[in-house]
Amino acid sequence: MKETKQVQDPLIQRQCDENLYEQEVDGGLRTQVIDEVKKQIGLAGPLIAVSLLQYCLEVISIMFVGHLGELPLSSASMATSFASFTGFSVLIGMGSALETLCGQAYGAKQYHMLGIQMQRAMVTLTAISIPLAFIWFYTTTIFIALGQDHEISNGSGMFIRWMIPSLFAYGLLQCLNRFLQAQNIVVPMMIISGVTALFHVLLCWVLVFKFGLEIKGAALANTISNWLNVVLMGTYVKLSPACKHTWTGFSKEALHDVLSFLKLAVPSAIMICFEYWSFDMVVLLSGLLPNPKLETSVLSISLNTCWMVYMISVGLGGAISTRVSNELGAARPKAARLAVCVVVVIAILEGLIVGSVTILVRHVWGKLYSNDEEVITYVAKMMPLLALSDFLDGFQCVLSGAARGCGWQNVCAIMNLGAYYVVGIPCALLFAFTLNVGGMVISVTLYVTYSPA
């Protein structure tokens, strides 16, 4: 009976025999550190590439739309932010529960449970996507009710309606990503994401300019590319020998204990959403500022830049989440602790490098998104403050990854609530609408909210 309970408990490290805690990695500290660095770089490198490549689908679409004019750029940017706010962030958050469940199951060598947990997550995220799709359908009405510019609201609504099918693909993709990540199968993920990103560039050009679909073409390209990613990833899981022990086909067992998944998925979603929503709220608030087309365009470019850099931190966070969950599942807590120490040092170095590059490219970065000189100049002013935010972000992301590996999503949700909504958003409102700092508020907000993390 005790053994059965151990298999069914999703947080495996809580059921481990304490005597096993003494069975740690052999060798001296230096050897352990070197080995850990190799493992993390081997994981983080491809995961960073995967995060960047999958996120750049949205960025590429916005870049194409940006060359259609200021109004299409504002509309697509608002729609993308709203899509993240009401859909993507929820799916990412709920899917991140698999980092704990699949990671610890893999470390404990309960391989069949990875496939069960992934199917359980797929069913749950697909069901959640249905009400989210209804929210997307009424985007224009929601924006107008919130006092947004009517032209931007209409354009945003049209853009996001063409993206509704991608909502379902995005949820499935999160499950497949976490399933493979938990098994340290990251290079195939990188290759598939790279193929999809290259295809997306061609697809955007054809749909936006060649077929003349303009903003609708960019949204349709997002949908097609996300589904392509899911099909390629699912085909790999089905056919690859690397997954033969973890994917054994569809099973009714995945439907039997959905509540156990929800108990971790809901706080995971709250943890992620509290963070992601704060950024999207700033973009939505920018629509209420004087000259909303300029402010929204610049802030969306700043956020896209921030999120692109954030994908590097996401890769590091994914790597440490996998390392911690695998080691805890194998009953090696000291090895997990060492992994956290190593990743913090890596995050410091990454932050210094990325911050420096961000400052160096500040005068040319805006040209990738717009031909408007006013937008380009405004973006250049934002970049140094974004560099500071990106540096602080590295610590926050890797520590969040370590917490996910441990199953501490409840604690992180409370911390994010305090950092972003007790401190960050009130400061954004103060600087934007009381002190009239304008769009520069985004950088101030990022700085303040990351500092507590």
In tens digits, what is the pLDDT along the chain, a chain of 453 residues?
333 333 344 455 444 444 444 444 455 788 888 888 888 888 988 998 998 898 889 889 988 998 888 788 888 888 988 898 889 999 999 999 999 999 999 999 899 899 999 999 999 999 999 999 999 999 999 999 988 888 889 999 999 999 999 999 999 999 999 999 999 999 999 999 999 999 999 999 999 998 988 899 999 999 999 999 999 999 999 999 999 999 988 888 888 888 888 988 999 999 888 877 777 676 666 666 666 667 667 777 777 777 777 778 888 888 999 999 999 998 888 888 999 999 888 888 888 888 888 888 888 887 777 777 877 888 888 788 778 877 877 778 888 889 898 888 888 888 888 888 887 778 777 776 776 665 555 444 544 454 433
Confirm whether 268 is domain-assigned.
Answer: yes
Query: Is 0.75 topped by the overall pTM?
Result: yes
Instruction: Look at residue 85 in the predicted model and tell me its pLDDT.
Output: 82
- Can you read off the two tokens belonging to residue 166? 């991608």
Confirm whether 5 is domain-assigned.
Answer: no
Closest CA to 325 of 168, 79, 9, 98: 98
Q: Please report the sign of the dihedral spanned by the C-alpha atoms of residue 88, residue 193, residue 187, residue 116.
A: positive
Confirm whether 9 is domain-assigned.
Answer: no
Instruction: Look at residue 363 in the predicted model and tell me its pLDDT.
Output: 83
- Can you read off the two tokens belonging to residue 430? 């103060």
First to last CA, the chain: 41
Closest CA to 205 of 93, 7, 68, 92: 68
Name the residue range of residue 407's domain. 27-450
How many structural domains is the chain composed of? Answer: 1
Confirm whether 7 is domain-assigned.
Answer: no
Confirm whether 257 is domain-assigned.
Answer: yes
Confirm whether 12 is domain-assigned.
Answer: no
Confirm whether 10 is domain-assigned.
Answer: no
What is the widest separation between alpha-carbon atoms in the chain?
Answer: 70
Q: In this structure, are residues 312 and 48 in contact, taking their beta carbons and an 8 Å threshold?
A: yes
- Can you read off the two tokens belonging to residue 48? 């960073």
**Distance between CA atoms of 58 and 67, rounded to whole angstroms?**
15
**Distance between CA atoms of 121 and 137, rounded to whole angstroms?**
24
- Helical pair 70-83 and 292-329, crossing angle rounded to 10 deg: 30
In SS3 terms, 202-220 reads as HHHHHHHHHCCCCHHHHHH
Confirm whether 179 is domain-assigned.
Answer: yes
In the chain, the amino acid numbered 332 is: R
In terms of Cβ atoms closer than 10 Å to its own Cβ (0-12, 13-18, 19+), residue 124 is: buried
Q: Which residue has the tokens 């911690």?
A: 324
Instruction: Look at residue 352 in the predicted model and tell me its pLDDT.
Output: 87
Instruction: Look at residue 22 in the predicted model and tell me its pLDDT.
Output: 43
